[in-house]
């Protein structure tokens, strides 16, 4: 990419976006090269929230690392802890009891509901549909309350311990979950109608950011982003972990490949999560919650892949026989999906960029985002709010 | 495709190109290959969209072993195929796979800044995660990195 005075090449301009913006788990910096309104090149700079977690893990015990890994992501913390626990359990040759595995699935699906509802709201907000944003976030509180009742925390639930889980399902919590799920299922039918029939909303999603199945496979995208392009990939189905071999998931795949398809996949996955949660509660195995874990973990390496709300989450753990991991490698689903944004944005209007970014469901934090638009007439600083409004106004005119 | 069929297919794709294939876990296949064979073997694995590159794990095996290892993980349904490339720690050089897997650029940029490996032919050598003012020649994921002694850099306002 160009820098300094090299920004202006004929009629092409580089539009830097970020790093302070709320659209992503990590604040990120993008540079979109535009020719008029059309994006012709895109590049990213990550790392503004790099905390050195992989290195830190090398000087923490396995137990300490578990709680640290839960903090990689504030939205999908449970899958991180699950993936790490499964790796360490493989290395120690210990298997968590069936009841613990079922509760892991239960919390994972509750987490998926909260994550997908959160994303639905943010996606709607970026499209200028704030009523949908407020309704979906209001409803999300139902599942947050359930998570708090079950685990004690709204976020970073720490449901996992090495060798099992630490929270149990009592009759009172069971009733609360079932009541909440019934309410959410009814609401989700409404959301499904909205995202598939609302003309103003479809204008922002149908045919936008289209990715063919071939592109999706070549770019290696994962999760709902891949399934929206017809890629049959869901690790809960392909390689069942925890108790997904007992509580079978039906894969949700759409062929559209555009933003609309990604909305439909995620909303349909909500129905699937409701069904799995009911099934887990009806068939919860009796027994212990934890298996005994050694403090020192046998030498070796283990790899686990789990299906986070955003797609394949990869964990590699290597032990050297002590009580501390020798190496922990994490690959979150946003990274390959982010790579797809850089390809998909090309050829689109700048006004579509917020929606394409939101479409992969990057983790959202709550900071403001600033966009700096460099033009021949000098620098003009745009806030994320201004770019969002620009996108909405662009389509209103 | 079942896991057994995946394993058969992976072996069929790997056997003409690699010397030994290991199976460290029921759902994993590992092959250790020299760096100059990486592109050929990776091409065979991703051919016709059979698998995709999940990520590249870098390992510093320590000063005593004098080696680094780079693990290319390919996902194919339930199966995970790992290509292991070992290079000397004193002169770590691996070829870029971006020519056949364009999205690998993000993983390669991470390896370069974290391990100080030279990746020949990679399209972008800019830093991805580390700050611009991170001292040159300091690679945090190497085992001899001393986290208590990073060079202290005074952050200056960019406008000055």
| Residue B19 in domain | yes
CB A17 within 8 A of CB A30: yes
| Alpha-carbon distance B149 to nearest alpha carbon in chain A (angstroms) | 14
Question: Between residues A49 and B64, which one has the greater pLDDT?
Answer: B64
Are B54 and A305 in contact (CB < 8 Å)? yes
The tens digit of pLDDT for each residue in B2-36 reads: 889 999 999 999 999 988 899 998 999 999 999 99
* CA–CA gap between residue A354 and residue A208 (Å, rounded): 11
Domain count, chain B: 1
Contacting residues of B for A335, CB less than 8 Å apart: 55, 106-107
Are A288 and A97 contacting, i.e. CB atoms less than 8 angstroms apart?
yes
Q: Is B112 exposed, middle or buried (0-12, 13-18, 19+ CB in 10 A)?
A: buried
**Which pair of tokens denotes residue A300?**
């070796």
CB A38 within 8 A of CB A347: yes
Q: What is the pLDDT of residues A204-223, one digit of tens each?
A: 888 888 888 988 888 888 99
Where are the domains positioned within chain A? Answer: 53-333
Most B CBs within 10 Å, among A16, A235, A301, A332, to test the B interface: A301
Tell me the pLDDT band of A20, cut-offs 50, 70 and 90.
Answer: low
Rounded Cα–Cα distance for residues A297 and A153 (Å): 29
- Min Cα separation A51/chain B (Å): 10
Cα–Cα distance list, A334 to A10, A11, A26, B45 (Å): 34, 32, 10, 23
Q: What CATH code is carried by the domain that includes residue B9? A: 3.30.460.80
Question: In the prediction, which pLDDT does A397 show?
Answer: 64
Strand duo B67-76 + B118-120: pairing: unpaired
pLDDT over threshold 80, residue A228: yes
Query: Average of pLDDT values for A330-348?
Result: 82
Residue contact A316–B101, C-beta within 8 A: no
Tokens 């003309």, residue located:
A199
CA-to-CA dists, residue B73 to A61, A328, B101, angstroms: 26, 15, 13
* Domain-embedded: residue B158: no
For residue B11, what are the CA distances in angstroms to A299, A300, A315, B4, B18?
A: 27, 23, 24, 11, 10
- Kindly state whether B99 is in contact with chain A, defined as any CB-CB distance less than 8 angstroms: no
pLDDT of residue A375: 33
| Residue among A47, A217, A218 whose CB faces B129 most closely | A47
The torsion region of residue A257 among left (phi > 0), alpha (psi -120 to 50) and beta comes to left
Give this prediction's pTM: 0.87
Which residue carries 């686990």 as its tokens? A304
Q: Cβ separation of B49 and A217 shorter than 8 Å?
A: yes
Q: Which CATH architecture has domain A53-333?
A: Orthogonal Bundle (1.10)
The ipTM value here is 0.90
Rounded Cα distance, A242 and A192, in Å = 30
The answer to whether residue B157 is domain-embedded is no
Selected residue of B57, B76, B108 to mutate for chain A interface (largest A Cβ count, 10 A): B57
Chain B residues whose CB is inside 8 A of the A51 CB are none
First-to-last C-alpha distance (Å) of chain A? 32
Flag whether B117 is in a domain.
yes
- Name the more confident of B2 and A169: A169
- The whole-number pLDDT of residue B149 equals 64
Chain A residues touching residue B131 (CB < 8 angstroms): 47
**Using the beta-carbon criterion (under 8 Å), do B103 and A318 form an inter-chain contact?**
no
Q: Of the ranges A8-22, A77-91, A338-352, B44-58, which one carries the lowest mean pLDDT score?
A: A8-22
Please give the residue range of the domain that contains residue B132: 3-152
Phi, then psi, of A383 in degrees rounded to 5: -85, 160
Angle at B115 between CA B154 and CA B53, to 5 degrees: 125
Residue A391 phi/psi, 5° resolution?
Answer: -65, -40
Residues 134-153 of B with CB under 8 A from A: 140-141, 145, 147
Residue B160 lies in a domain: no
Residue A368, pLDDT above cutoff 60: no
């Amino acid at each position: 990419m160009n820098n300094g005075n090299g920004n202006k090449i004929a009629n092409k301009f580089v539009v830097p976006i970020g790093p302070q913006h709320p659209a992503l788990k990590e604040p990120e910096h993008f540079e979109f090269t535009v020719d008029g309104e059309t994006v012709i090149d895109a590049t990213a700079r990550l790392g503004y929230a790099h905390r050195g977690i992989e290195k830190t893990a090398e000087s923490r015990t396995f137990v300490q690392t578990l709680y640290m890994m839960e903090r990689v992501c504030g939205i999908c913390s449970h899958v991180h802890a699950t993936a790490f626990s499964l790796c360490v359990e493989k290395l120690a040759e210990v298997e968590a009891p069936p009841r613990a595995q079922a509760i892991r699935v239960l919390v994972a699906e509750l987490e998926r509901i909260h994550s997908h509802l959160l994303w639905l709201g943010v996606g709607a907000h970026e499209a200028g549909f704030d009523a949908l944003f407020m309704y979906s976030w209001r409803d999300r509180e139902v599942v947050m309350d359930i998570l708090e009742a079950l685990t004690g925390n709204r976020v970073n639930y720490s449901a996992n311990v090495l060798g099992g889980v630490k929270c149990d399902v009592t009759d009172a919590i069971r009733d609360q979950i079932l009541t909440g799920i019934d309410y959410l299922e009814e609401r989700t039918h409404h959301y499904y109608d909205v995202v598939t029939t609302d003309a103003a909303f479809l204008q922002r999603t149908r045919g936008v950011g289209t990715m063919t199945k071939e592109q999706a496979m070549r770019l290696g995208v994962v999760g709902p982003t891949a399934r929206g392009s017809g890629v049959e990939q869901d690790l809960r189905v392909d390689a069942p972990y925890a108790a997904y071999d007992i509580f079978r998931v039906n894969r949700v795949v759409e062929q559209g490949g555009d933003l609309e398809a990604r909305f439909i996949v995620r909303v349909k996955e909500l129905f699937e999560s409701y069904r799995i949660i009911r099934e887990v509660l009806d068939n919860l195995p009796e027994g212990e919650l934890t298996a005994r874990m050694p403090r020192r973990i046998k030498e070796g390496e283990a790899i686990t892949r789990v299906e986070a709300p955003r797609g394949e989450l990869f964990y590699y753990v290597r032990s050297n026989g002590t009580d501390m991991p020798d190496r922990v490698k994490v690959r979150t689903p946003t990274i390959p999906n982010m790579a797809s944004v850089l390809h998909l944005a090309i050829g689109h209007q700048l006004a579509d960029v917020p929606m394409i970014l939101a479409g992969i469901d990057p983790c959202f934090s709550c900071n403001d985002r600033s966009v700096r638009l460099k033009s021949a007439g000098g620098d003009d600083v745009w806030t994320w709010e201004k770019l969002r409004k620009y996108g909405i106004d662009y389509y209103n005119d | 495709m079942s896991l057994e069929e995946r394993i058969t297919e992976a072996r069929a794709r790997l056997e003409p190109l690699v010397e030994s294939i290991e199976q460290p876990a029921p759902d994993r296949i590992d092959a250790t290959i020299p760096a100059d064979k990486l592109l050929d073997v990776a091409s065979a694995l991703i051919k016709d969209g059979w698998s995709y590159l999940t990520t590249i794990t870098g390992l510093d095996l320590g000063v005593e072993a004098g080696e680094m290892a780079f693990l290319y993980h390919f996902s194919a349904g339930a199966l995970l195929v790992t290509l292991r490339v070992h290079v000397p720690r004193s002169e770590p050089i691996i070829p870029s796979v971006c020519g056949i897997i364009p999205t690998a650029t993000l993983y390669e940029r991470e390896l370069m800044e974290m391990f100080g490996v030279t990746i020949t032919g990679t399209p972008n050598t800019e830093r991805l995660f580390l700050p611009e003012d991170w001292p040159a020649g300091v690679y945090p994921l190497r085992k001899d990195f001393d986290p208590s002694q990073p060079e202290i850099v005074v952050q200056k306002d960019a406008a000055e």
